[in-house]
Amino acid sequence: MPSRRSHTKSHHGCRQCKARRVKRQITCSFLDTGSEGFPTPPGNATAYDTSTPKSFDYQLSDAEKTRHGPLPTPKTSSPLTTVQDGPGPEKRFDILDLELIQHYSTRTYMTMSSRLASHAVWRDTIFAEALRHDYLLHALMATAALHKATLQLKSSDAYAEYSRIALAHQNVALAGFIPEVSKPNQENGIAIFSVSLLLTIWAFASKRLPEGLNNVKIDFGRGESSPGVTLPLHSPTGDFIEVIMILRGIYAVIRETNTWLQGDIEELLRYPRSEELPPHSQEVEDAFSTLRAAVDDPQLISLWEGDDRQATKTLFLEHIEQLRDVSRCRSVVEWDGHIFSWLIMAPPSFIHCLKASNPFALVLFAHWAAMFRCMDHHWWANGWGYNLVIDVSSMLDPLLARYMDWPRRQVGLVYQGNGGFDGRRLP
């Protein structure tokens, strides 16, 4: 598919294009684009395009209005619009929809996972499924729009427009997805599973985009109760707990759709074998030894007070060992996404400790966050690990400072020597 830039150059004053517009009585957006074209491809980190998408006046088709009902959303539309050409109606794609589909099919699909074997699944298997389920197609276009937004200068009009169109596609996708998620079957199992994975991307990426995109909050109704949340509101850690709950909801969806996840899609469910992951370095082993010692530190006895003292200590010791095992994946790029499994598989009791700001749970979480930096090469995850370690450091009592030494060194924080941390990186 030719780029908009090349089409623009070849259509200034193009009689053929003008004749086609007269015949169909439609506007050719190429003639309105200008000579600057659209975004600079990834790989040129110093060059940005600040032009604004021209074709985002996005209206729902009659068919979609009937299917989804009225939506309290910004102006949105189906990827198909009806235009007249001669005696009967003709269907065509909106040019911006085509742009997003092209971007997803050539670039975005490769950013979903580091595993080369999964790229074809995201590009072919899931896209083919999207042709059968409109809400999945909108979800793919929303993800492509989010991706394109991150390639723009944040001060540019194009950044704001791609962010806005991402929200529009999210709204349409969720309107179709939410009724389906409660009734998984052979027909919709793969589509539900795919959108559930994309929700993770949205949840992570939306924290880095305008506030309007922070609406991806789905109650999967799996009965995970929680105590009062004492984490600071709108803190990185508090926001991340919301992402954790989305991840855990997705795991519940996977369990319910597992029967129908067969064939190529199964590649996304693969976990590494133990022999595929290298052992930790001595430095990392020492960090885990320090964590184990913290459980019996007499200065931290107040963390274990109450009737469940021994049960809580046992919970943390078990979770330390699970993190030690899972975190070996950060040494192998194709398995870096496996780092999520530590939180996805965690028992509700540990998640509750995090929500309640249990200091030792936060220390353990900070170790995971430092290891999560292995995902920084993904546009939707970049920066999370660094911000989480800073945030947890600011919440902890100085008594726990020495147990934060390893994670803060991993992200380059400077320790002030007085129990305080700041956000500067080491030179």
What is the reported pTM?
0.71
Asked if residue 252 is part of any domain, the answer here is: yes
pLDDT exceeds cutoff 50 at 130: yes
CA dist 242 and 315 (Å) reads 22
Q: Where are the alpha helices (DSSP H) in 372-424?
A: 384-395, 405-411
Report the SS3 class of residue 33. Answer: coil
pLDDT in the model for residue 209: 53
Number of Cβ within a 10 Å radius of residue 344: 15
For the segment 39-67, what is each residue's pLDDT rounded down to a tens digit?
333 333 334 444 445 444 444 433 333 33
Asked if residue 62 is part of any domain, the answer here is: no
- H or E segment and range at residue 84: strand 80-85
Domain that holds residue 387: 285-425
Strands (E), 195-351: none
pLDDT exceeds cutoff 70 at 423: no
Q: Do 169 and 235 have their domain in common?
A: yes
Of the chain, the percentage scoring pLDDT greater than 90 comes to 39
pLDDT band at 98 (very low <50, low <70, confident <90, very high): very high
State how many domains the chain has: 2
pLDDT exceeds cutoff 80 at 315: yes
Asked if residue 4 is part of any domain, the answer here is: no
Report the SS3 class of residue 400. Answer: helix
Angle subtended by helix axes 282-295 and 359-371, to nearest 10: 170
* Contacts for 238 with CB less than 8 Å, ≥ 6 apart: 229, 231, 232
- H or E segment and range at residue 207: none
| Structure-token pair, residue 109 | 């699909």
Selected residue with higher pLDDT from 207 and 11 = 207
Parallel, antiparallel or unpaired: strands 421-425 and 413-415: antiparallel
Selected residue with higher pLDDT from 232 and 109 = 109
Q: Do 353 and 229 have their domain in common?
A: no
Q: Do 265 and 296 have their domain in common?
A: no
* Contacts for 300 with CB less than 8 Å, ≥ 6 apart: 294, 359, 360, 399, 400
pLDDT exceeds cutoff 70 at 171: yes
Asked if residue 338 is part of any domain, the answer here is: yes
CA dist 15 and 208 (Å) reads 44
Nearest to 80 by CA among 88, 68, 92, 69: 92
For the segment 72-90, what is each residue's pLDDT rounded down to a tens digit?
333 344 444 433 444 445 5
pLDDT in the model for residue 92: 56
pLDDT in the model for residue 278: 92
Q: Looking at 302-306, 324-328, 400-404, 414-418, which range is the least confident one?
A: 414-418
pLDDT in the model for residue 422: 52
CA dist 114 and 397 (Å) reads 37
For residues 330 and 336, is the Cβ–Cβ distance under 8 A? yes
The rounded mean pLDDT for the chain is 76
Q: Do 399 and 326 have their domain in common?
A: yes
Asked if residue 181 is part of any domain, the answer here is: yes
Q: Do 162 and 233 have their domain in common?
A: yes
Mean pLDDT comparison of 155-159, 234-238, 411-415, highest-scoring range: 155-159
pLDDT in the model for residue 206: 78
DSSP state of 396: S
pLDDT in the model for residue 295: 87
Asked if residue 9 is part of any domain, the answer here is: no
pLDDT exceeds cutoff 90 at 121: yes
Q: Do 232 and 307 have their domain in common?
A: no
Q: Do 256 and 297 have their domain in common?
A: no
| Structure-token pair, residue 374 | 């292995």
Q: Do 164 and 307 have their domain in common?
A: no
Q: Do 154 and 300 have their domain in common?
A: no
Nearest to 231 by CA among 88, 101, 388, 383: 388
